Amino acid sequence: GAVVSQHPSRVICKSGTSVKIECRSLDFQATTMFWYRQFPKQSLMLMATSNEGSKATYEQGVEKDKFLINHASLTLSTLTVTSAHPEDSSFYICSARVPGKDEKLFFGSGTQLSVL
Amino acid sequence: SQQGEEDPQALSIQEGENATMNCSYKTSINNLQWYRQNSGRGLVHLILIRSNEREKHSGRLRVTLDTSKKSSSLLITASRAADTASYFCATAYTNAGKSTFGDGTTLTVKP
C-alpha cells in the first residue's frame, strides 16, 4: 500500500518559535495533500489543501500567514507553524490521495506539537 | 453542525461481541469512507462505499449506506481487543475532492 511519512512525530518548542512539519509520499507522487488539526478526543479539522506547484487552499478561519504550506515537489509538503503559541498545541496530520487508487486517503502518523 | 455525525460517541463491548457505529450526513455525497485511528496515530482507511452502493463487506467489517436517510453504519463482527480504536466516517462530494470527517466513535473492546 501507499506510504505517507510524517516527521517529526513529536515536537516541543518555546512560544514564539517556528516549527516545520514534513509530509512525504514515499512510493507515489501526490499532487494533492491535505493538512488537518486534531484536538484530543475530537475529529479532524481540515486546515488546508496543498497543491503541488501552486498555492495552498485554506479553509475558512485558518490563518494562512500563521500556517505556511509549501508543496514544492510531488512527494513533499511542509506545514510551518510560525511564531507558535500555546494555543497552537495540537495534533497535526497530513494525508494524500494516490492517483488511480480510488478516493481513499493515506495518512501520515501525525505530529504532536506542544508549545510551552 | 458538521457533516458526518457519528453515534455513539463511545462504545464499550466484550471481546467476541459485535460493534455497530452509525454515521449521518447532511448533503449529497459521492462516497463515504470509514477510517480507524489508534490513539496518537494517523488514520487508516478501512472501507469505501459509493453513493450507488448499499452494502459492502471486508473481512469482519460490514458497511451499509442509506442515501435516502443520509446515513451509514459500520459493523465489526466478532470484535477483538485489537479493534480498540476510534472510528471515523468521512464523506466526499467528488472523487478527488476533500473529505469531511465525522466526530468519531471511540470503541473499547474488553478482553
Query: Does the CB of B92 have a partner CB in chain A at under 8 Å?
Result: yes
The answer to whether B13 and B110 have CB atoms below 8 angstroms apart is yes
**Among B40, B41, B92, beta carbon nearest to A103:** B92
Residue range B5-33, pLDDT digits in tens = 788 999 999 999 999 999 999 888 889 99
Residue to mutate among B21, B29, B43, B63, with most A CBs inside 10 A, is: B43
DSSP tag of B83: G
Q: How confident is the model at residue B108 (pLDDT cuts 50, 70, 90)?
A: very high
Cα(A95)–Cα(A116) distance, integer angstroms:
27
For residue B85, give Cα distances in angstroms to A60, B12, B36, B47, B57.
Answer: 30, 11, 7, 16, 20
Q: Classify B4 as helix, strand or coil.
A: coil
Shortest distance between the Cα of B63 and any Cα of chain A, in A, equals 15
pLDDT of A90 over the 80 cut? yes
DSSP E strands, chain A: 4-7, 10-13, 19-25, 32-38, 44-51, 57-58, 67-73, 76-81, 90-97, 105-107, 111-115
Q: Determine which helix (DSSP H) or strand (DSSP E) holds B100, and give its type and residue range.
A: strand B99-101
Q: How confident is the model at residue B1 (pLDDT cuts 50, 70, 90)?
A: very low
CA angle in degrees (0–180, nearest 5) for B13-B17-B18: 95
Q: Classify A86 as helix, strand or coil.
A: helix
Count Cβ atoms within 10 A of the Cβ of residue B86 and give its class: 0-12 exposed, 13-18 middle, 19 or more buried: buried
Residue range B52-107, pLDDT digits in tens = 999 999 999 999 999 999 999 999 999 999 999 999 999 987 766 788 899 999 99
**What pLDDT sits at residue B4?**
65
Q: How confident is the model at residue B2 (pLDDT cuts 50, 70, 90)?
A: very low
Yes or no, beta carbons of A109 and B101 under 8 Å apart: no
| β partners of residue A50 | A33
Residue to mutate among B2, B45, B63, with most A CBs inside 10 A, is: B45
SS3 of B28-50: the string is: CCCEEEEEEECCCCCEEEEEEEE
